[in-house]
């Protein structure tokens, strides 16, 4: 099946289309006269310029996808808000006056006030940073740790692989939130609650999944002909892993990592909601939602605003992952 599709895409679409059109209107065994379809047109292969790499081709199809454009703009916006919250609000999120407690929105304070009389809008803006930091750094650590372990296990196999499989089984059987609650109770974590403890905790339970995916992709690439060729040309095992296997197995890792970035942001909010995540003095969407739950009946918007920002951020990372997957998978790109 895959050969078939490759053949179609490599043969060049224009030629195929014309052939299809002709057979539709005329008799099936129509043979085009030579002057109508010159030989060069049939056999023509673009020889000028290098063939596009997988990434260049993926980028070309990504640029045209509305899903990608929307999510990329949203993510860019969130990153800017996280980096420069002061550009988006002149309010001090830590200035709270009890006289404003649970007041609805008014000029200058479009989202109203929370129970303590703090401006909800500025808290939402300043809360972006913690959530995004957790998402980005957890993903980075998971890629480095899980990717390395998965690549070594998949490439070398043997006992490393066996140990990884069993370790992965143990971590897999423990649900993320459950494991994270237990780890967050450890003295080293409970006494130093910060963004970093949350990041490390989530990474501890996040790496096995990425290791498994990397392992699968590496095993697939390891047996490819070009890897065998590089080995027979005298490249060392490790070098062929770094130079040939890894670059060719990175696509599924990127897709999963993008989607998981959103998942980690949700996990941080859930941990903060359960009271074991970020300390209450760090402004984050999760903390604000957690404090808002007691006020749900009197001031539901206090919960809705941070939840909305959180959801839109997570949504844009998931959409980005979806778009990248479609772009890297030629089967999906043709819209078959």
Q: Would you count residue 22 as binding other proteins (CB under 8 A)?
A: no
- Name the minimum Å distance from CB 225 to other proteins: 26
Residue 204 belongs to what H/E stretch? helix 195-222
Does 296 interact with other proteins (rule: CB under 8 A)? Answer: yes
Candidates 92-100, 142-150, 243-251, 292-300: pick the segment binding other proteins (CB under 8 A).
292-300
Our finding on whether 160 is near other proteins (CB under 8 A) is: no
Q: Among residues 2 and 33, whose Cβ is nearest to other proteins?
A: 2
3-state helix, strand, coil in the chain (%, to 5): 75, 0, 25
256 binds other proteins (CB under 8 A): no
Range in contact with other proteins (rule: CB under 8 A) among 48-56, 140-148, 163-171, 239-247? 163-171
What is the pattern of x (binds other proteins, CB under 8 A) and - over residues 180-209? -xxx-xxx--x-------------------
* CB 116 to other proteins: min, Å: 20
The size of the interface with other proteins (CB under 8 A), counted in residues, is: 39
Could you identify the residue written with the tokens 């050969």? 3
CB of 205 to other proteins, least distance (A): 11
**Is 175 a binder of other proteins (CB under 8 A)?**
yes
Write the secondary structure of 295-330 as one string of H (helix), E (strand) and C (coil).
HCCCCCHHHHHHHHHHHHHHHHHHHHHHHHHHHHCH
Per DSSP, the three-state class of 29 is coil
Residues in CB range of 121: below 8 A, 6 or more apart: 89, 91, 109, 110, 111, 305
Q: How far is the CB of 329 from other proteins (least distance, A)?
A: 11
258 sits near other proteins (criterion: CB under 8 A):
no
**283 CB-contact burial (10 Å; exposed 0-12 / middle 13-18 / buried 19+):** buried
The 3-state secondary structure of 65-101 reads CHHHHHHHHHHHHHHHHHHCHHHCCCCCCCCECHHHC
255 near other proteins (CB under 8 A): no
- Helices H / strands E in the chain, number of each: 17, 0
Site membership for other proteins, residue 55 (CB under 8 A): no
Q: Is 300 in the site for other proteins (CB under 8 A)?
A: yes
- The reply on whether position 173 binds other proteins by CB under 8 A is yes
Q: Using the rule CB under 8 A, is 274 a contact of other proteins?
A: yes
Q: What SS3 class is residue 109?
A: strand
Binding of other proteins by 10 (CB under 8 A): no
Closer of 44 and 162 to other proteins (Cβ): 162
Q: Is 147 in contact with 210 (CB distance < 8 Å)? A: yes
Cβ-based neighbour number of residue 3 at 10 Å: 7
- Looking up tokens 């020889």, which residue turns up? 47
Question: Can you tell me which of 56, 169, 194, 238 binds other proteins, judged by CB under 8 A?
Answer: 169
Specify the residue, 48 or 298, whose C-beta has the smaller distance to other proteins. Answer: 298
HSE of 63 in the Cβ direction (CA atoms, 13 Å)?
5
Tell me the residue length of the chain: 336
Binding region for other proteins (CB under 8 A): 166-167, 169-170, 172-178, 181-183, 185-187, 190, 262, 266, 269-270, 273-274, 289, 293, 296-297, 300, 303, 307, 310-312, 314-315, 318-319, 336
């Amino acid at each position: 099946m895959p050969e078939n599709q490759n053949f179609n895409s490599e043969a060049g679409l224009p030629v195929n289309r014309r052939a299809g059109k002709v057979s539709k209107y005329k008799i099936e065994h129509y043979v085009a006269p030579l002057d109508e379809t010159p030989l060069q047109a049939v056999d023509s292969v673009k020889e000028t310029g290098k063939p596009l790499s997988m990434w260049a081709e993926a980028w070309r199809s990504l640029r045209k996808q509305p899903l990608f454009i929307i999510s990329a703009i949203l993510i860019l916006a969130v990153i800017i808000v996280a980096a420069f919250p002061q550009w988006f609000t002149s309010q001090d999120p830590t200035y709270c006056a009890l006289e404003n407690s649970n007041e609805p929105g008014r000029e200058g304070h479009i989202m109203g006030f929370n129970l303590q009389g703090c401006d909800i809008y500025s808290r939402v803006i300043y809360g972006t940073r913690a959530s995004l930091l957790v998402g980005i750094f957890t993903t980075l650590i998971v890629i480095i740790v899980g990717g390395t372990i998965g690549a070594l296990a998949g490439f070398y196999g043997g006992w490393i692989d066996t140990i990884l499989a069993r370790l992965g089984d143990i971590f897999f059987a423990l649900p993320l939130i459950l494991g994270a609650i237990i780890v967050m109770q450890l003295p080293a974590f409970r006494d130093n609650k910060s963004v970093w403890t949350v990041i490390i905790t989530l990474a501890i339970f996040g790496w096995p999944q990425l290791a498994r995916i990397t392992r699968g992709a590496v095993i697939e690439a390891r047996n490819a002909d070009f890897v065998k060729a590089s080995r027979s040309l005298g490249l060392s095992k490790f070098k062929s892993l770094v130079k040939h296997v890894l670059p060719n197995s990175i696509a599924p890792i990127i897709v999963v990592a993008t989607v998981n970035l959103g998942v980690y942001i949700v996990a941080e909010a859930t941990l903060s909601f359960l009271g074991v995540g970020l300390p209450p003095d760090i402004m984050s969407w999760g903390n604000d939602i957690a404090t808002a739950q007691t006020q749900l009946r009197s001031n539901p918007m206090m919960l809705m605003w941070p939840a909305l920002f959180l959801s839109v951020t997570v949504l844009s990372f998931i959409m980005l992952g979806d778009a990248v997957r479609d772009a890297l998978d030629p089967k999906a790109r043709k819209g078959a």
